[in-house]
Amino acid sequence: MESKYILSVLVEDNSGVLAKVVGLFSRRGFNIHSLAVGVTNIEGVSRITIEVIGDELTVEQISKQLNKLIDVIKIKVSRSDELVKRGLLLVKVKISSKNRTEVIQIANIFRANIVDVSQSTITAELTGGDTKLNAFLDMLAPYGIEETAMTGMIALERGTNVLKA
């Protein structure tokens, strides 16, 4: 049974680590749905958040293989719904003087920020889970989406649990 999993991976902040982690996925023909990398509050430790769709056994095998990498310090595999997760979307929409207000209203409903505006386009930013981001894009589609940029999801476990290096 396939479902969406999130792998939170703490790694040594060395050059080439991301390539090693990502390489493991491609070698096993396993698709990465989204990916986000950044530094953490711990010095020398980066956090890679990987969203994958797969069955439990495959995800477990991937996580074991990742654990074998010397630069990987810790891994936590979670079902997507056990976490608070957020991504950032930037979207540039085509507008005219007639429908500019409509688009701004939609953005307001989603609590998106308008970060740039021109005679013929509006650029909005929105953070949220992927359902929210996709719903926003669906609403904007009829106006004509010129360009989008989206980050991978980042995620933290709900409650008191902490992933320690």
Partner 1 sequence: MTGAQMVVKTLEENGVTTIFGYPGAANCPIIDRLPGSAIKHILVRNEQGAAHMASGYARVTNKPGVCTATSGPGATNLITGIATAYMDSVPMIAITGQVVSNLLGRDAFQEVDITGATHPFTKHNYLIRNGLDLPKVIDEAFYIASTGRPGPVLIDIPMDILKKEYDYPERKKEPIVIRGYKPIGMGKAHEMQIKKVAEAVKASQKPVILAGGGVVLSNATKEFRHFVQMTGIPTVTTMTGVGVIEGKSDLNYGMIGSHGIKSANMTLNHSDLVIILGSRLGDRSVANAAGLEKRTKLIHIDIDPAEIGKNIFPDIPVVGDVKDVLSQLEPLLRDYKVSPEWKEYVDRIRSDWKVEEETQDNGFVNPRYFVKKLSEKAGSDAYVSTEVGQNQIWVANNYNFSDPRHFITSAGFGTMGYGLPSAIGASVASGSTVISVMGDGSFQMDLPEMGTMRQWDIPVKMVVLENHRLGMVHEHQFINYKSNYYAVSLEGSPDFCKLADAYGIPSMRISENSEIDKGIDALLDGKKSFLLVVEVDPFEPTGGALNSHYLPKEDK
The single residue listed with the structure tokens 């509050």 is: 41
Least spacing, CB of residue 65 vs partner 1, in Å? 5
Please answer whether residues 84 and 39 qualify as being in contact, where contact means their C-beta atoms are separated by less than 8 angstroms.
no
- Residues in contact with partner 1, counted by CB under 8 A, come to a total of 22
Residues 31-90 interacting with partner 1 (rule: CB under 8 A): 57, 60-61, 64-65, 67-74
Site membership for partner 1, residue 29 (CB under 8 A) = no
| Torsions phi, psi for 26 (to 5 deg) | -65, -35
Q: Is 75 exposed, middle or buried (CB count within 10 Å of its CB: 0-12, 13-18, 19+)?
A: buried
Site membership for partner 1, residue 27 (CB under 8 A) = yes
Site membership for partner 1, residue 19 (CB under 8 A) = yes
Quote the CA–CA distance of 103 and 152 in Å, as a whole number.
25
Residues lying near partner 1 in the complex (CB under 8 A): 11-12, 15-16, 19-20, 23, 27, 57, 60-61, 64-65, 67-74, 165
